[in-house]
Structure 1
Amino acid sequence: MSSKDVDRLSRLPEPIVSHILSLMPTKFAVRTTILAKRFQYSWMFVTNLDFDDDDSTNATDIFSRLALLLTESRHNSDSFIKFVDRVLESCRSPQVNLVRIHVYYKVRESCPSKWIDKAVRLNVRELDLRLSLSHLPLSLRTCKTLTKLVFHRTGRDRQASKCWECPERVSLPCLKTLDIDVCDDPHENAFRVISGCPLLENLSLEVYRVWGEYERQDDYIFNIPTLKRLKLMLGYDLVNHKVVLNVPKLEYFVLCGELFSLFVMEDVSSLAEVTLSIERLDSDHHLWDELFKGLSGVKSLSAQNENSRGCFGFISPLPVFQNMKHLELNRFWNPEFIPLVLERSPQLTCLCVKHVHDYSKHEESDWIEPKVVPACMLTNLTTIKFKCVGQKCVIHLMEYMLRNAEVLKTVTITWRNLCFQEETRLAAKLLKVPRASHDCEVSFIGGGSLSNASY
């Protein structure tokens, strides 16, 4: 810095100033009017507009024309509404990249529709909405510049029985990412939007049911030839449905919630990575069997069992995961299940096991060593990661892996909820086990001095 006072901020080129202001919540961008005269109108040329009613909590007087709008508490919806109205009306950017509007209390129905209309007139590319809205305005349904749409209703609205509605006409020719939630009947709303997105690549759909509403028997058919990423969140006993996936370009699939629907994989030939997080399961376990069969071509699988009653049962044998190289099992999986998966995964190179079934009822007699060593343990399995407590059945599983995995290079064991003495005892026991692989390094991570110890 020179000895003279230099206002370097004011000397920045206008595009740089606009870019900086676009990286902050809009209320802060507007506050820059107090810095210098040259900043009086800079905020009008931002390319991102970020409105959040929580952001107005500490608002202060910054500009004579906006003073009233920024000094009210966030619980006064009128001040927030007026602020959003004024900024959207004053924005002079030829194209806005992002408009984010999060409102956590109910506002007049006309307000969100008016905001969306103004955003569309600004040639918005990404629209992120969390607010109360009963229907999608025509301007949104036919926006030619929109590439990403996120629309979730607020918590209070989600508890209401009436879902947002989408009239017949939908044409979003540039939309590639869609993230929405819908109540009870996706056919009437969500699938109507999806059908109007010819370039859709990323879809996140949350379907939840309001108690007491009717049940429909229609299938959920995802026939989207351009889709690459799909996330489905199913909840509240959505039963009697069949989910059909005809998505030949799908690479990443995430399924969360409750498994009460039959999944039919018509074409998932490009599927590479799958994440499952199942909270509840229909008593008929064939749904789980069918889901695994449909995912048999996956390369990476992460399965989280949130059902604390124990591991899911299987009516038929597991399918052969011919291409799977990475497997992660989390939460309440029985140790006996792991060799079964390994047996059906001949190309597996990395196994991660977290928080396996930790019921105290598991005793030494519960572990039955497989008669045949899985092929992957003899030729491909190089990395194993365990994160668990020290039940006898789990320790026996670890010993089995060390004795039989011939190409292992690294084994990482993270102790959980154990005292230092118990960590030391179990580590010493495992280190005495003869290793089939002479290149195998065993590392222990725990709360005591065993942290990051390798042998």
Structure 2
Amino acid sequence: MEAKYTSKIGGSDGNDRLSFLPDQIISHILSFMETKYAVGTAVLSRRLEDLWTRVSNLDLDDAPEWEHAIDEREWQFWRFVDKVLGQHKNLNALSRFRFHVSVRYNHSFEVLGSTSFKRELVFGPPIEEIDINIDGGTESGIPQCLRCIPENFYTLKNLKVAKLSGVVLGAINLSVFLPSVKILQLSHVKMKDFESLGRLISGCPALETLHLETCKLQPF
């Protein structure tokens, strides 16, 4: 009995069982993969060509696997990020956004300028986890549209985890209400004033874990 069941769902008879799944289910499965692998599934069949553009999780990591040459790796990574953010069909419906990049040279801005990269990090209401790590500091070639946290971040009602490193927090002049945030980590973050930091922390009534490391003022 078990052998027969395994044959049916495993496709050992040569049939493609994955094709029988609804698009929504396949996109959900792809959401558990690192984004570069989810995008890679587009070459497997015509049906899979754009299913990655509906995933609910984005994991963009400038990992060493891209290329051995650092400069070429930066070119590949930023082109990939531009493609993902440009072609994703519903960025406002993401539940998790992870963006890790190591900037080693100041030519990153030139790399970005060679693409159509104009994407700001604006998060939709459903998002539950934000993990941004810009290694190299905010004085690097990362443009302001990427390293500055948008205002709508401070009113994300479903956000549970916020890990921010190497970004800029502008002056917070509006009410902060992050009722679901339990983990808040700020590392190497630059901010307009410490009053804004106080507003951010006090706006997280459910906060359980707070980590602050090398947070300093920066005049704008």
Same fold per superposition (TM over 0.5): yes
Higher helix residue share = 2
Distance 1:127 1:184, change over 3 A: closer
Corresponding position of 1:11 = 20
Q: What is the aligned-residue identity percentage?
A: 27
2:119 paired residue number: 114
Residue in 1 that maps onto 2:71: 75
- Tell me the alpha carbon deviations over residues 338-362 of structure 1, each in whole angstroms, 9 at most, x when there is no partner: xxxxxxxxxxxxxxxxxxxxxxxxx
Partner letter of residue 208 of structure 2? N
8 Å Cα contact 2:121/2:149 also seen in 1: no
1:95 to 83, 93, 96: 93
Looking at both structures, which has the greater relative contact order when contacts are Cα pairs under 8 Å and sequence separation is at least 6?
A: 2
Answer yes or no: is 1:54 the counterpart of 2:63.
Answer: yes
CA RMSD of aligned residues (A): 3.5
Cα contact 2:85–2:119 (8 A) shared by 1 = no
* 2:149 is the alignment partner of 1:136: yes
Q: Provide the C-alpha distance between the structure 2 equivalents of 1:125 and 1:3, rounded to a whole number of angstroms.
A: 38
Aligned residues: 184
**Distance change >3 Å, CA 98–CA 187, structure 1 → 2:** same
TM-score relative to the length of structure 2? 0.67
**Contact map agreement 1:126 1:148 (CA 8 A) in 2:** yes
The CA deviation string for residues 48-97 of structure 1, in whole angstroms up to 9 with x for no partner, is 10000116515xxxxxxxxxxxxx95534343223212212322246211
Q: Which string of whole-angstrom CA distances, capped at 9 and with x for unpartnered residues, describes residues 153-190 of structure 1?
A: 2xxxxxxxxx8443032524344131112579983553
Secondary structure of 1:54's counterpart equals coil
Tell whether the 8 Å contact from 1:33 to 1:39 is kept in structure 2 after alignment.
yes
The alignment's TM-score, normalised by the length of structure 1, stands at 0.35
* Structure with the greater alpha carbon radius of gyration: 1
Aligned to 1:194: 201
CA–CA distance in structure 1, aligned partners of residues 187 and 52 of structure 2: 33
Q: Which residue matches 1:86?
A: 83
Q: Partner of 1:190: helix, strand, or coil?
A: helix
**SS of alignment partner, residue 18 of structure 1:** helix
Q: Secondary structure at the match of 1:29?
A: helix
- Aligned residue number for residue 3 of structure 2: none
- Are the aligned partners of 2:62 and 2:101 in contact in 1 as well (CA < 8 Å)? yes
Specify the alignment match of 1:32 in structure 2. Answer: 41
Question: CA separation in 2, counterparts of 1:105 and 1:83?
Answer: 16
Inter-partner Cα distance in structure 2 for 1:84 and 1:122 = 22
CA contact under 8 A between 2:30 and 2:55: conserved in structure 1? yes
Partner of 2:142 in structure 1?
none
Alignment check: 8 A CA contact 2:98 2:130 kept: yes
The offset of 1:125, in angstroms, is: 2.4
Give the whole-Å Cα distance in 2 for the aligned partners of 1:35 and 1:184: 44
Where structure 2 has 5 or more consecutive residues not aligned to the other structure, the ranges are 1-6, 139-146
Distance 1:122 1:92, change over 3 A: farther
Residues 170-249 of structure 1: pairs in structure 2 closer than 5 A: 170=174, 171-176=176-181, 177-182=183-188, 187-197=194-204, 199-208=205-214
Cα 1:116–1:27, aligned 2, differ >3 Å: closer, same or farther? same
Offset of residue 37 of structure 1: 1.3
Q: How far does residue 99 in structure 1 lie from its aligned partner after superposition? A: 0.6
Distance 1:174-1:184 versus aligned 2 partners, 3 A rule: closer
Instruction: Give 3-state SS (helix, strand or coil) of 2:47's partner.
Output: helix
Show the counterpart of 2:129: 126
Q: 1:188-210 CA distances to partner (integer Å, 9 max, x unpaired)?
A: 5532321233x332232223489
**1:321-360 alignment runs, 5 A limit:** none
Matches for 1:336-415 after TM superposition, within 5 Å: none
Q: Which has the higher strand share?
A: 1
The verdict on how the C-alpha distance between 1:3 and 1:202 changes in structure 2, with shifts beyond 3 A counting, is: closer
**Do the aligned partners of 1:182 and 1:205 also contact (CA within 8 Å) in 2?**
no
CA 1:3–1:33: 2 relative to 1, 3 Å: closer
Aligned residues of 1:116 and 1:139 also touching (Cα < 8 A): no
